[in-house]
């Protein structure tokens, strides 16, 4: 069935090199500079979102931790924790609320969240703001990497919001932050909750994951009858103090090259070209959300999936007494 009024929706994603905005100030000298740098990013993003609005965009999603360098590799607390903000009423959320109201646009804003209600705990979170300017809610990062220089658990742990899905005027959306794209069941749970579009704001480097990047989100779109939108930052960020990877190698000043290459994959397996791997960009995509239902009716993955069987075995597998079902001679 073609649903009137829901034939086409437009979504936008973009990436940029954080250091391009502050080529001489990436090494923050004190926490006092944080507010100025975030404000400068706000001004830059406002210009880009204005262009997106001219293109008719309904939903915009930024990259992971978009208001700051991805400095978790350093294991330094200051000044990086000073970038953390309230998800409900912090300056970045208020800024995004203004954008949403001004341009009639849903805004997905991934930030480093400070949860003052629970002792100032930090979270990697994405705030979802309605085109009316209301904060619909937030989705915290479910899977935290412990690989190479991705020392994120020094700052925050696994999220506790589960797999929320947000009903907006332009579609039902979810946010699967970064490392969650490596976990097929994470995509599945967002889909089970009814997501038509799953955004994947990320910060990942070429040496680690570039060979996987074109595959994982595209496969998730096919497997879950939905649109997926992997978004990566772009460029190389350098830090004043050298840090090690714990692998016996030499200390270094950068995490690696963030290769951008953001794209959108559709339920039928098609995908857009990716953005540049070396410079910032804006990707505007028209989505026919009816394709989710049409592909689902064709392939019936939800109907043919043996979820009760999987659930039973998974329930057993997380218990200490679990024994794999291996038949031997």
Is residue 7 within 8 A of residue 170, CB to CB? The reply is no
Q: What is the predicted pLDDT for the residue at 196?
A: 97
Single out the catalytic residue among 178, 226, 229, 292: 178
Cα separations (Å) of 288 from 4, 170, 226, 262, 314?
12, 11, 11, 19, 35
Give the three-class secondary structure for 1: coil
How many C-alpha atoms does 319 have within 13 Å on its Cβ side? 9
Single out the catalytic residue among 37, 64, 113, 237: 64
Let me know if 47 is a catalytic residue.
no
Of the candidates 197, 217, 207, 214, the residue with the CA atom closest to the CA atom of residue 273: 214
Q: Estimate the crossing angle of helix 184-192 against helix 213-224, to 10 degrees.
A: 30
Is residue 57 within 8 A of residue 284, CB to CB? The reply is yes
Residue 326 has pLDDT above 60, yes or no: yes
Residue 132 has pLDDT above 50, yes or no: yes
Is residue 299 within 8 A of residue 225, CB to CB? The reply is yes
Q: Which domains does the chain have, with CATH numbers?
A: 9-317 (3.60.110.10)
pLDDT tens-place string over residues 184-224: 999 999 999 999 999 999 999 998 899 999 999 999 999 99
Q: What is the predicted pLDDT for the residue at 207?
A: 87
Residue 30 has pLDDT above 90, yes or no: no
Task: Band the pLDDT of 13: cuts 50, 70, 90.
Answer: low
Let me know if 178 is a catalytic residue.
yes
Question: Percent of the chain having pLDDT more than 70?
Answer: 90
Averaged pLDDT of the chain: 91
Q: What is the predicted pLDDT for the residue at 31?
A: 59
pLDDT tens-place string over residues 230-239: 999 999 999 9
Q: Residue 263: which region, alpha, beta or left (left: phi > 0; alpha: psi -120 to 50)?
A: beta
Task: Band the pLDDT of 280: cuts 50, 70, 90.
Answer: confident
Q: What is the predicted pLDDT for the residue at 14?
A: 54
Single out the catalytic residue among 82, 141, 196, 216: 141
Let me know if 31 is a catalytic residue.
no
């Amino acid at each position: 069935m073609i649903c009137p009024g829901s034939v086409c929706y437009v979504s936008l994603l973009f990436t940029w090199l954080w250091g391009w905005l502050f080529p001489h100030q990436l090494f923050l000298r004190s926490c006092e500079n944080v507010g100025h740098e975030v404000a400068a990013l706000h001004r830059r993003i406002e210009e880009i979102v204005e262009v997106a609005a001219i293109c008719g965009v309904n939903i915009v999603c930024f990259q992971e931790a978009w208001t700051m360098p991805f400095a978790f590799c350093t294991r330094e607390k200051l000044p990086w924790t000073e970038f953390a903000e309230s998800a409900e009423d912090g300056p970045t959320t208020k800024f995004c609320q203004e954008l949403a109201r001004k341009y009639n646009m849903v805004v997905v804003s991934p930030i480093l969240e400070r949860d003052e209600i629970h002792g100032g705990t930090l979270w990697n979170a994405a705030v979802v703001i309605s085109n009316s300017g209301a904060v619909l809610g937030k989705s915290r990062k479910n899977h935290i990497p412990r690989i190479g220089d991705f020392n994120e658990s020094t700052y925050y742990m696994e999220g506790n919001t589960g797999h929320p899905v947000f009903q907006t005027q332009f579609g039902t959306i979810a946010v699967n932050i970064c490392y969650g794209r490596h976990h097929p069941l994470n995509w599945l749970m967002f889909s089970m909750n009814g997501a038509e579009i799953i955004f994947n704001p990320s910060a990942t480097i070429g040496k680690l994951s570039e060979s996987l990047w074109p595959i994982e989100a595209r496969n998730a779109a096919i497997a879950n009858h939905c649109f997926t939108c992997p978004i990566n930052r772009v460029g190389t960020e350098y830090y004043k103090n050298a840090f090690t990877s714990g692998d016996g190698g030499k200390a270094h000043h950068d995490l690696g090259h963030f290769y951008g290459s953001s794209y959108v994959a559709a339920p039928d397996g098609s995908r857009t070209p990716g953005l540049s791997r070396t410079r910032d960009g804006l990707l505007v995509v028209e989505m026919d959300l009816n394709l989710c239902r049409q592909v689902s009716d064709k392939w019936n993955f939800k109907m043919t999936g043996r979820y009760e069987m999987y659930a039973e075995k998974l329930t057993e597998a997380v218990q200490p007494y679990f024994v794999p079902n291996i038949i031997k001679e």
